[in-house]
Amino acid sequence: MPDATPAPTGDPETPRSGRPAARRGGSRRDPSRRGARTGRVRRSLAGLPGWELALVGAIVLVALVLRFWNLGQNLPLVYNIDESARFVPDAATVFSQRLGYRELVNPPGMMGLLGVLQQLWFRPQGLSPSEALVRDPGEAYLLGRVVVALLSVAAVPVLYAAARQLTGRTAALVAAGLLAVAFLPVAYARVALADGPTLLFVALGLLGAAWILQDDAGRRRGFLLAGVAVGLAAGFKYNAGIVVLVALAAAVLRVRPDGFGTVARRTVLMGVVALAAFVLSNPYVLIDPHEVLRAIEYQANWSGSGRYVGEPMTNGFVFYTWAAGWGVGWAPLVAAVVGSLLLAVRRPRIALLLLPMVAGYLVVMGFQDRFFARWLLPIVPVLVIAAGYAVQEVVGLLARRPRRVRIALAGALALGLGAQSLLHSTHTAAVVGREDTRTVLRDWMVAHVPPKSGVVLESMSPGAWMPTFDGNNAYFSLNRWSIYHTIAAVQRRDRRKHPQLRLKAGFSSWVRILYPELIDEFERYGYCTVVTSSYQAGRAGRTPELVPAARRYYRELTRRADLVWQLSPFSREATFPDGRGPWLPTTAPVKYQIDRQATTYELDYERPGPMVSVYRLRGGRCAGTPPGAMPAVVPNAPWR
């Protein structure tokens, strides 16, 4: 049998033995015995004391509030680029159209789940999911967000159950509290992406490993649960399959008490279950394995294809340390390091179970060329468990003090660890309910930019953002303005001289298509209104060495155009310090960083979105034309 894992000395409620202290003396009618019976009656159906269950419930409630507060932000417009392009739109056709490798870059587990729920939700309304997405995209996206938020919240009690068995009650309560408020888990539980649900499957994998480690020899539930968790984690997010290391470590730790043969058979069972769960969530491994491999290869090549424009950091290990510092909290990060060291010294079995997953994940991800804060999420459950264990051990230093003192210290330390994330999570949840700067820009343009006029609109909004002539926001309608994408004649004539013309003007490549002479073409073809945003120009300003031509383009724009209108999402104190005037395109009150701007992390935000600026060119066809009568673009300019 494996060693039992009693609650450590830091647990304010349980002595070293791991069993409640026995009552002494007294007859069968001894009042103390009656009190003991009453205490047992007051234990919850889950086997926990009532106060403990109530505290877990309060933590879950906090998690719910932070994730559902303003969950419908800015709908029906969806401004997160990944959310607008993935999962919800793919789910609408997942059962009627075959996915290609570009869709399978993200495993289809989330698409399949949303596809089933969309069928259940919209079919009784007499609509197919595709029809519903066109008629009311806001409802479809809100359904996806609700599902993601609920799955993310479910990770909190599951992680608590796993941590309680692995490390003890105090550590489990602290870990659950940190996961409930940590900024990155909260932010990515509020958008219809696969990152939030992945936390649930990682937590289930940790719980399965805890059962493997502690169950009696005849029980298989841990191996079964771990298999399901590993398969679903990989089926929702490929890199989340790293939780398999925890399950395998737990199996290895069972070899000595149970024997190699028994553990080998159960590990094979776990592998079969994991494969079945993975195939269930990603049936394309059987339907079209070539496309799945092509998608994984594409993702690997993209991650290793050079530094992302706008990201100043060049070392993945430094980046993920920094991302954990604001995405989970600097104090929890320090506590996690201390807790990991204490686990290695005092609980080596648990350290061998948990820490290789973190190390392996960072080794794989840290050597990539590109890195994003949300890619840190699969190891966040282990980080908060380690931080919780550090708190538990600190409280254990006061083992001889009264219980209320230890409980007060544990609560104070937990609140201190969670304060940074709670502040930012609460601020963001409140701010995102206000109108996005791109929505305000949209209304301003309707009022001030004539229909059919040419507009250079930087890539910062989904297609549904564009209003139509009749005011109808349905997809695939005729747009109000002629938006610059490419000019065929210029592309044919100058693509050798300017390689930027060969690129598609998408979100990731927009600043790469820019060069100063492009402004001449705007004026020649009648694209007189140029709209910039800190989401694009800010990238060029943050890493000018990666896009020197774009930096020159923005300088040329400010020289040859008039600033007509500018809107900042930041507070007035941040936007106009010391009476500072309008900002240049490549500058902003808060420096660009893709993860922090996409999640509205900074406390300076008063509304979501980028800083937007509208310029009007003065030369060529734009010269001498009143703002209210801008010329239409010439015929061979694309109409979109």
The whole-number pLDDT of residue 414 equals 95
Q: Beta partners for 468?
A: 479
Residue 160 to residue 177: CA distance in whole angstroms: 9
Residue 482 to residue 469: CA distance in whole angstroms: 12
Residue 217 confidence (pLDDT) above 50: yes
Q: 612-617 and 561-567: which strand pairing?
A: antiparallel
Residue 175 confidence (pLDDT) above 50: yes
Q: How many other CB atoms sit within 10 Å of the CB of residue 28?
A: 6
Residue of 185, 506, 500 whose CA lies nearest to 374: 185
Residue 14 confidence (pLDDT) above 70: no
56 or 496, higher pLDDT: 56
Q: Provide φ and ψ at 445, rounded to 5°.
A: -65, -40
Residue 520 to residue 294: CA distance in whole angstroms: 41
Taking phi over 0 as left and psi of -120 to 50 as alpha, with beta for the rest, 131 belongs to: alpha
626 or 308, higher pLDDT: 308
Residue 633 confidence (pLDDT) above 70: no
> How many Å separate Cα 56 from the centre of its chain?
24
Condensed to tens digits (0 to 9), the pLDDT of residues 82-141 reads 898 889 999 999 988 888 877 888 899 999 999 999 999 999 999 999 999 988 889 999
Residue of 3, 18, 414, 378 whose CA lies nearest to 204: 378
Condensed to tens digits (0 to 9), the pLDDT of residues 369-394 reads 888 999 999 999 999 999 999 999 99
Across 223-235, average pLDDT: 96
Residue 142 to residue 295: CA distance in whole angstroms: 28
The whole-number pLDDT of residue 152 equals 97
Residue 215 confidence (pLDDT) above 90: no
The whole-number pLDDT of residue 411 equals 93
Q: Which residues of 150-167 are buried (b: 16+ CB within 10 A; e: fewer)?
A: bbbbbbbbbbbbbbbbbb
Residue 331 confidence (pLDDT) above 80: yes
Residue 140 to residue 23: CA distance in whole angstroms: 58
Condensed to tens digits (0 to 9), the pLDDT of residues 21-71 reads 444 334 344 444 444 444 444 555 567 888 899 999 999 999 999 999 999
Residue 20 confidence (pLDDT) above 80: no
Residue 4 confidence (pLDDT) above 60: no
Residue 635 — pLDDT band, cuts 50, 70, 90?
A: very low
Residue 5 confidence (pLDDT) above 60: no
Q: What angle do CA 258, 259, 263 make, to 5 degrees?
A: 80
Residue of 517, 529, 538 whose CA lies nearest to 589: 538
3-state secondary structure 386-454: HHHHHHHHHHHCCCCCCHHHHHHHHHHHHHHHHHHHHHHHHHHHHHCCCCCHHHHHHHHHHHHCCCCEE
- CA dist 349 to 163, 202, 317, Å? 14, 19, 26
Domain locations along the chain: 38-431, 437-629
What is the residue-averaged pLDDT of the chain? 86
The whole-number pLDDT of residue 28 equals 43
264 or 469, higher pLDDT: 264
Condensed to tens digits (0 to 9), the pLDDT of residues 395-453 reads 999 888 888 888 899 999 999 999 999 999 999 999 999 999 999 999 999 888 888 88
**Whether 169 contacts 385, CB under 8 Å:** no
The whole-number pLDDT of residue 482 equals 85
The whole-number pLDDT of residue 86 equals 86
Condensed to tens digits (0 to 9), the pLDDT of residues 556-572 reads 999 999 999 999 999 88
**Whether 474 contacts 463, CB under 8 Å:** no
Q: Which two tokens stand for residue 120?
A: 């259940």
Most distant CA pair in the chain, distance: 104
- CA dist 213 to 84, 166, 356, Å? 42, 9, 16
The whole-number pLDDT of residue 629 equals 62
Condensed to tens digits (0 to 9), the pLDDT of residues 306-316 reads 788 888 888 99
Across 177-202, average pLDDT: 96
Across 475-487, average pLDDT: 73
Residue of 421, 437, 82 whose CA lies nearest to 237: 82
The whole-number pLDDT of residue 2 equals 42
Selection from 19-23, 345-349, 583-587 with the highest mean pLDDT: 345-349
Condensed to tens digits (0 to 9), the pLDDT of residues 533-563 reads 999 999 999 999 999 999 999 999 999 999 9
Q: Which two tokens stand for residue 564?
A: 């007509």
CA quadruple 104, 107, 108, 114: dihedral sign: negative
The whole-number pLDDT of residue 23 equals 40
Q: Which two tokens stand for residue 253?
A: 């730790």
